[in-house]
Amino acid sequence: MIMVLEILGLALINMEASISLKKIGKNVENKSILAGLSFGIEKGTITSILGPNDSGKSLLLKMIAGGISPDFGSIYINGDNISTGDRKLRLKIGYMPQYINLDDNLNILENLQFHGRIYEMEQKQIFERIDFLTEKFHLKSLLYKFPGELSFGFLRKIIFVRTLLHDPSIILLDEPTISLDLNSKSRLWKYINEIKGEKTIIYSTQTLLEIDNIDERIIFLSNGKIVLDGTYKQLVNKTDNLYKFVLEFKNLNDKLFNDLSNNFMLIQSKRENNFFEFYGKDKDELFKVLKKVLNNNLIDFQISKVGLDTLFLNSTQE
């Protein structure tokens, strides 16, 4: 059985990078969450990390931010190893986690001011940035509210503003649009588009609906490994001639399933009850199979073009 990725000829992107990961690995509770990742991210680009829950997206971003260390491997920012704990290196990074980590005893303005001081901003710059960003994202009216008075969606927007406050050159966003309304999502993506080229941005997401907002690099992560890597257009173009075929039988027994799976160059064939599914680069693959099964209780068959969503789901399955 041939994997879809091998047929499509997708390869990991290799580039000279301002962020470099060298064989990064992390185990949590004796389980490998990230397994020997190596890739680079160019300065001034936007990269989306796409994957299901527990694929290692959040852990990866937290490690790049310097929040936790890998069990093995190294992470470099502009050639410097982040594990050295160099404070100047950390000041270049803005990290937005999924969780809310504001101080409940401080109001929003005080939380932002505290963040600015931690990142060695001058008082004048702190106020200018708070004024600019809260105006940009319609949050000025919340500055004197306390975190406990605000919804999760509003708190996520505050965390986003805090991430940008010290004007970092590297921005790491862990599923930044969770719990945001449509207008807020639109403003967030609009701003990211405005600053792309000036900043190196990495964001994680679980949905393909977001990645065409910004047509740059996409890394598909599954079970701690990279399964696809390329731009949106590159990955979509790779699916142009890929089809999914589904054959329905009155009785798809083990012998028939094994004959079909072993005697044809099929991509990722599988059985579900009396349905036989496989993928092919053209419809000739289907006709080869049909010749063999026309007298084997075949009821019906279906053909569909494969899109990027199918390719992703296919790539994340064991």
% of the chain residues with pLDDT over 70: 82
Decide which of 306 and 140 is more confident. 140
Residue 62 and residue 149 in one domain: yes
Residue 115 and residue 225 in one domain: yes
Residue 263 and residue 167 in one domain: no
Residue 178 and residue 264 in one domain: no
Residue 200 and residue 225 in one domain: yes
Q: What is the pLDDT of residues 62-78, one digit of tens each?
A: 999 999 999 999 999 98
Q: What is the pTM of this model?
A: 0.75
247 Cβ contact list (under 8 Å, min separation 6): 275, 276, 277, 289, 293, 298, 300, 301
Query: How many angstroms separate the CA atoms of 52 and 48, rounded?
Result: 13
Q: What is the pLDDT of residues 284-295, one digit of tens each?
A: 767 777 777 776
Helix axes 108-118, 152-165, angle to 10 degrees: 30
Give the pair of three-digit tokens for residue 293: 């099964």
216, 237, 258 - which closes a domain: 237
Question: What pLDDT is stored for residue 239 in this prediction?
Answer: 61
What's the number of domains the chain is made of?
2
Handedness of CA 65, 69, 71, 73 (dihedral sign): positive
Q: What is the pLDDT of residues 175-233, one digit of tens each?
A: 999 999 989 999 999 999 999 889 999 999 877 666 665 668 888 887 788 877 888 77
Q: What is the helix (H) or strand (E) element at residue 159, kind and residue range?
A: helix 152-165
Residue 225 and residue 248 in one domain: no
Distances (CA, A) of 123 to 116, 161, 162: 8, 17, 15
What SS3 class is residue 312?
helix
Residue 191 and residue 277 in one domain: no
211, 237, 263 - which closes a domain: 237
Q: What is the CATH number of the domain that holds 135?
A: 3.40.50.300
Residue 200 and residue 226 in one domain: yes
Residue 284 and residue 260 in one domain: yes
Residue 192 and residue 114 in one domain: yes
Residue 107 and residue 206 in one domain: yes
What SS3 class is residue 170?
strand
Handedness of CA 286, 290, 292, 296 (dihedral sign): positive
Residue 155 and residue 260 in one domain: no
Q: What is the CATH number of the domain that holds 272?
A: 3.30.70.100
State which residues form the domain around 248.
240-315
Q: Is 4 in contact with 279 (CB distance < 8 Å)?
A: yes
184, 210, 237 - which closes a domain: 237
Question: What pLDDT is stored for residue 30 in this prediction?
Answer: 81
156: pLDDT strictly greater than 80: yes
Strands (E), 78-205: 80-81, 93-96, 170-174, 200-205
Query: How many angstroms separate the CA atoms of 106 and 109, rounded?
Result: 8
